[in-house]
Structure 1
Amino acid sequence: MWRYLGIFSLILASSVFRTAACQSIPLFRVPKQQPASPPSLFSSNVSVSDVNGFAYLARMDIGAQNFLVLLDTGSSDLWIVSSGCTEDDCSNVPKYQPTPTLDLSPTAFELRYLLGEVSGVIGTETVGLGRFEVLSQVFALANQTAGLGLAATGNSGILGLSFPTEAAIPDTSGRTLLENLVSSLAEPDRYFAVRLGRDSGGSSFTVGELDPAYSDSLSDFAFSDVYSAGHAAYDYWKVPLHAITVNGTSFDVSDSRVPRAPSPIAIFDTGTTLILGPSADVDRLWQSIGGARKTDSGWQVRCDRAMVIGMVLGAGDGAKEYAIDPADLSWLEGGRDGDWCMGGIQSNDDVSSGDWLLGDTFLRNVYIVHHLGNSTQHPMVGLNGLTDPQTSLANFRLARGNDPTPPAPVLGKVTHHRYAISEGAICGISAAGGFVFGGVLTVVISACVARRAAKY
């Protein structure tokens, strides 16, 4: 699966870059637990606590020291815990020790999270990812962390893979690691691909090539331009969402609240566990699915509720329906309360850069390519559906038993007022958010995940 090719050198603006022509990097799925979050900040959302989750980690070297970092397509910075971090939050994880190749900047680094925070300084160091190596790569050394629960997962930091406009480290300090990685490749190969598995061995992260275990040709993917409003800079990996299907019947989603967007906008994020959408749509969706109940802590669904849900995503000829495995919607791994499981789709009205946030419960059903664009084309997202709806439904029934609940009618779209955008409010369960660390599940959804306040 992991192929190592010859190394060559390339001079960049402030870095010397050595890399294989293409590269596959091992990706690990690990369970995570973290203390419960505080109550919801928004009336349309409920807070995160008592929910199981998983983090997807990649291994990398910084200053010849090896670390596991959270793979996050919803942020843009690379940061790592430094030896100066003595907080309980960063205890028992590997910490960066200064080396002769470290060059510190006087620029301070600080990210405030709705659930936790990180602060430190900015520097440059030799960074290795697989067989890639970047000299003088800018990154942040975290001297203080709080509320991130790093020790629970074992990751020492975050590798952000979104667009540089969302980086907290100023561009005057240097280019993001992603920019440096892809700029060394031929223009057609300036992409990375991610496959999130359902077990510890089924994940993949490649740069400049595909994993042949899932696809050997870009022609297998339906590509769409990354959505950007007018001449605005690209911020996140996002495309239009045209409709959701419930057991083959179209379910119309609400109009977008993103300025000038012709349809609702979906953001792809490996750092978020669930699918999050407008509360009015999510309520109507679960009512259309049936066998579900809304509690004070979010939507639950019967653990044997069999359903076929699809999402029609993409722009123009790239629009296509992608099926979601019912095991990701009646999410047993999220915990259960008797016959009830956590719903894999939950409410959020404060994703200001989009309308829907597609986390791991969606991304486990596709192989996704993130192409940063080149001199002739815009940045693009390519999706290759991996879930066959009938096969997944049969496997679900085999594992969970027969579903006695009768089908429910699919409810039509209701005109409603979306809550005002609260800048920086991210709600959902992220790999850095809160998860179960106790007995019976109380299903809850996050008001605040451990991410930068300005995100989305």
Structure 2
Amino acid sequence: MFLLALSILLLGAASVDVAPLVGAQHDYEYLANITVGGQTFSVIIDTGSSDTWLAQKGFACLNLTGHPVPAATCGFGSQGFDSKLSKSFQPYPSTSFYITYGDGEYLSGAAAFETVTVGGLTVTHQEIGMVASAAWTGDGINTGLLGLAYPSLTSVENTSHGQGMLYNPFFFNAVKQNKIPHPYFSIALNRGTITAEHSPRPDPHLGYLAFGGIAPVPVTNTTATLPVQGFSIATHAPVSGAGATYSYYGVDVQKYVFPGSAAIFTAQNSTILDSGTTLNLMPSAVAQKYNAAFNATWRDGQYYVDCAAKAPPFAVVLGGKTFTIDGRDQIVSFGKDADGKEMCISGTQDGGPDMQGSVFILGDVFLHNVVTTFDIQKNQVTVSQRQHY
């Protein structure tokens, strides 16, 4: 039974497209190779956003306050996409592209259409963002991002009337163009190693992104299929099924299980599965109670832990099944202090109070422990516990 994911993949091996993933920025980011207009780049894979974008050749690099800085400050892994070298590039007149991320980074430019290939899967006439200005702190490897969430999160606007122009992201177009056997993609993110986390070079063999099949890693028989939580346009309350608008891959968390969890309410129905976020960002009460069992220290907006500590157990209950998080994922390297001593933070951090409109995140700390499959037609997510590795 633990070979379930691999078996499913092999059944459709002739038509499943699999992109291997590498780690960057101390294994906090997961990258795949992408070919656009015949030019190949490394990009971040992100289930928490929807746009595919690349820095274009000659981009302006800015700091977070908008002041120009040297191009190297942005840390892109190349000089950027050169439209003059592409035979398939089509500009999209009268458009602007602008996106911001939770850490304050932002990018702007215009939209274009291109032929895009990831892991052997090729989509034609794909709308992408061409970044002309970037306030970005890169890893020296990636030159962009592949967004895998729903069309409602896309970031292109018509400059003539100032209205958003929603479009189909890469995977949605792949389904529309009948390029894959099944309307789902699957992700397995491997945890990195201490040695690789301290290396500036890419960390190979850090997982898979599978289109139309299941990521090929061993899993157990602990599996749950959940409806994606959309929202009501009228009330903005989380809903699923008919009448829902979908954006992120939100799921119902029935509870979190850890030492002391019985004393607090832990269920949360506004939680997203986000490969672009390293940590788990939990409701304040959950983070506080868990990190108390960790003997964590709160300072500078983070829970710090001893790098040699043994993490308390932590599990997430989804669809009636309990998914455990390996303790190694709960101790996250956070650089060195002024004396050169290694610092670590808890993998479970405070995402704010549990109140109307709050959104919490199961990030890579959780995703290292499962294979996650996203079905965009049924609007379902299947989570399978990985075999210990």
Q: Normalization by structure 1: what TM-score?
A: 0.66
Deviations 1:370-420 (A, max 9, x none): 1112xxxx31111111265xxx8xxxxxxxxxxxxxxxxxxxxxxxxxxxx
* Inter-partner Cα distance in structure 1 for 2:325 and 2:77: 37
- 2:373 counterpart residue number: 369
Shift of 1:134: 1.9
**What's the offset of the Cα at 1:123?**
0.7
What is the CA-CA distance between 1:187 and the residue it aligns to?
Answer: 9.2
Match of 1:139 in 2: 128
| Cα distance change on mapping 1:250 and 1:181 into 2, 3 Å | farther
| Residue of structure 2 in register with 1:209 after alignment | 213
Rounded to whole Å, the distance in 1 between the matches of 2:256 and 2:336 is: 26
Distance in 1, matches of 2:247 and 2:166, equals: 19
Q: Partner amino acid for 2:323? A: Y
Alignment of 1:106-185 (within 5 A): 106=93, 107-113=95-101, 115-146=104-135, 148-150=136-138, 152-169=139-156, 172=165, 174-185=167-178
C-alpha deviations, 1:251-278, integer Å up to 9, x for none? Answer: 64356xxxxxxx4332110100101112
Opposite residue 156 of structure 1, the aligned amino acid is T
Provide the C-alpha distance between the structure 2 equivalents of 1:182 and 1:267, rounded to a whole number of angstroms: 23
Deviations 1:105-137 (A, max 9, x none): 121112244522211111101111222222211
Is the aligned partner of 1:84 residue 2:69? no
| CA–CA distance in structure 2, aligned partners of residues 24 and 163 of structure 1 | 21
Partner amino acid, structure 2, of 1:181: A
Using the alignment, how far apart are the partners of 2:36 and 2:342 within structure 1?
Answer: 46
Residue 201 (structure 2) aligns with:
none
The question of whether the paired residues in 2 share the 8 Å contact of 1:70 and 1:157 is answered with: yes
Q: CA deviation at 1:220?
A: 6.5
Q: Assess, with a 3 A threshold, how the Cα gap between structure 1 residues 90 and 198 changes in structure 2: closer, same or farther.
A: closer
Please point out which of 234, 247, 250 is paired with 1:238: 250
Distance in structure 1 (CA, Å) of the matches to 2:374 and 2:183: 9
Counterpart among 300, 312, 316 of residue 311 in structure 1: 316
- 1:284 positional shift: 2.2
Residue 253 of structure 1 corresponds to: 265
**Does the CA contact (< 8 Å) of 1:243 and 1:250 recur in 2?**
no
Which residue is 1:50 aligned to? none
- Relative to structure 1, the CA distance from residue 340 to residue 122 in structure 2 (aligned partners, 3 Å threshold; closer, same or farther) is closer
Structure having the larger proportion of residues in strand: 2
What CA distance in whole angstroms lies between the structure 1 residues aligned with 2:349 and 2:166? 38
Note the aligned Cα RMSD (angstroms).
3.1
Residue of structure 2 aligned with 1:265, choices 251, 264, 270: 270
Task: Report the CA distance shift for 1:354/1:238 in structure 2 as closer, same or farther (over 3 A).
Answer: farther
SS class of match (2:31): strand
Aligned to 2:197: none
CA pair 201-353 structure 1, distance change in 2 beyond 3 A = farther
2:36 paired residue number:
62
Q: 1:121 to 1:363 in 2, by over 3 A?
A: same
- Residues in 2 aligned to 1:75 and 1:132: alpha-carbon distance in whole angstroms: 20
Q: 1:388-407 residue pairs with structure 2 within 5 A?
A: none
Q: Percent identity?
A: 26
Counterpart residue identity of residue 270, structure 1: S
Change (3 A) 1:341 1:83: closer
Structure number with greater CO (CA < 8 Å, separation at least 6) is 1
8 Å contact kept, 2:255–2:266: no
Contact 1:119 1:143 in 2 (8 A): yes
Instruction: Name structure 2 gaps, 5 residues minimum.
Output: 1-5, 62-70, 158-163, 193-203, 231-237
- SS of the equivalent of 1:212 reads coil
Q: Distance in 2 between matches of 1:292 and 1:369?
A: 33
- The separation in 2 between residues aligned to 1:127 and 1:186, in whole angstroms, is 12
TM-score when scaled to structure 2?
0.77
Partner Cα separation in structure 1 for residue 342 and residue 165 of structure 2: 54
What 5-or-longer segments of structure 1 have no aligned partner? 7-19, 33-52, 256-262, 393-456
